[in-house]
Amino acid sequence: MAAPGLITKFTNCCLLRDHQIIRDDLWVKDGKIIDPMELFYRHKKVYDQVVDCEDALIAPGYIDLQINGGFGCDFSHDIENTEECVSKVAKGILPHGVTSFCPTLVTSGPDVYRKVIPRIKKRPGGEDGATVLGVHCEGPFISPEKKGAHCLSSIKDIDEDSSQALQLIQMYGCLSNIVIVTLAPELPNALNMIEFLAKENIVVSLGHSNANIDISIKGVEKGATFITHLFNAMSAFHHRDPGIVGLLASHYKNVFFGLIADGIHTHPAALRIAHRTHSDGTVVVTDALSALGLPDGIHYLGSKSVEVKNGCAYLAGSDTLCGSITNFAECIRIFKQSTGCSTVEALEAGTLHPAQVLKIENQKGTLNFEADADLIFLNQDLQVLQTWIDGKCVYKRSS
């Protein structure tokens, strides 16, 4: 962060603010975006330093709610080096414009969860890497029929006779570092688990599920507010039973949905349908694997071997897709091109909406006054030029 009390004026730029792109300056003090009018008229101050943005578009930093690893690290596999893996990924995603993320653990055994989760602590970002917002546990309470690349033997039922708190502690070890849990609402006793997690202020995401529309609605009524990688690892849309996908057209407008916009997992037509049905709920995620940033070869997703060939990741020896190797900035560009949406809509799918999922939109995902000064500089092609966290430049693309 800049020296305490130092006021920085970002000029010669456009800003993404209040759902529009405007020509204006941005003012930052002590890692926060400030109101220049209050600065001038109340405190009788002006700026201490100026940053010429050279006609860049300034947007809030990207927020990735689902990332399994990257740069050779897998959070569910490299359990002896958890802190090092998180740090490596946090640093590696800065050039992609990601300023905050949720390290994601796929379906694993209790021995893995209890060892890893306590070591992935929430922490602020900076020069050493993006902010860690908390863990996304993608399992183990999922449908065996819709396990995707997850390990079948690690999938667990929800016990009717044990309390939800006890089951979660026995499975995860602790809840304080967890911010999202993906589960299948059709499992016996799942609705009670959803209600408990929601009361604990943990976001419940419906996914890896064979649920019909009725069960999906009940899940939302119990407190679920997110859908994990829409269209992938869930019952297909049918005109008499649209399944989880049908939530997009329901009257529950507080439901958000993740989309893997890597050009592989979700067809452009499906991206368009989802966006045009419920644009305010769109959340771009990478679902990135350890192979992010690496060439083709053999990598890992939890206990499973993954083969990356021709830019696609499959379970080794199969044709089952198992995560992405496309970085966040590229996903935003693919999403915009595929859907034909505006620049504002594309950027908000990677900034404001994921912040709203976690109910942190007053601090992140926005350039409103008093928000964290987590920023990205973009050119007209939405290429990341610079990344800033807490009012400090942490990445600058070489010219």
In tens, the pLDDT along 220-272 reads: 999 999 999 999 999 999 999 999 999 999 988 899 999 999 999 999 999 99
The secondary structure of 40-68 as a DSSP string is HHTT----SEEEEEEEEEEEEPEEEEEE-
Q: Is 138 among the annotated ligand-binding positions?
A: yes
Give the model's pLDDT for residue 302. Answer: 72
Q: Is the pLDDT of residue 103 over 70?
A: yes
251 is in an annotated binding site: no
> Read out DSSP for 268-311?
HHHHHHHHHH-GGGEEEE--B-TTTTS-SEEEEETTEEEEEETT
Name residue, tokens 């019952």. Answer: 235
Residue 2 — very low, low, confident or very high, per pLDDT cuts 50/70/90?
Answer: low
- The verdict on whether 24 is a catalytic residue reads no
What residues does each domain of the chain span? 7-59+366-396, 61-358
Triad 186, 190, 194: Cα angle to 5°: 120
Q: Output DSSP code: residue 144.
A: G
Q: Is 232 annotated as a binding residue?
A: yes
Q: Report whether pLDDT(1) > 60.
A: no
Q: Could you give the count of Cα atoms lying within 13 Å of 327 in the half-sphere of its Cβ?
A: 17
* List 78, 262, 287, 390, catalytic entry: 287
- Tell me 235's DSSP state: P
Distance CA 224, CA 205 (A): 6
pLDDT at 111 over 70: yes
Would you mind telling me the total number of residues written for the chain in this entry? 399
The answer to whether 96 is annotated as binding is no
Q: What is the pLDDT of residue 370?
A: 97
For residue 140, what is the DSSP state?
S
Please compute the mean of the pLDDT values over residues 33-49 and round it to a whole number. Answer: 85
What DSSP string runs through 298-361? EEEETTEEEEEETTEEEETTS--B--B---HHHHHHHHHHHHT--HHHHHHTTTHHHHHHTT-T
Q: What is the pLDDT of residues 364-384, one digit of tens each?
A: 999 999 999 999 999 999 999
Q: Is the pLDDT of residue 354 over 80?
A: yes
Average pLDDT, the chain: 94
Matching CATH number, 7-59+366-396, of 1.10.645.10, 3.40.190.10, 1.10.357.10, 2.30.40.10? 2.30.40.10
**What is the rounded distance in angstroms from the CA atom of residue 106 to the CA atom of residue 148?**
11
Instruction: Let me know: does 121 contact 152? Beta carbons within 8 Å.
Output: no
- Per-residue pLDDT band for 321 (boundaries 50, 70, 90) equals confident
Class of the CATH domain delimited by 61-358: alpha beta
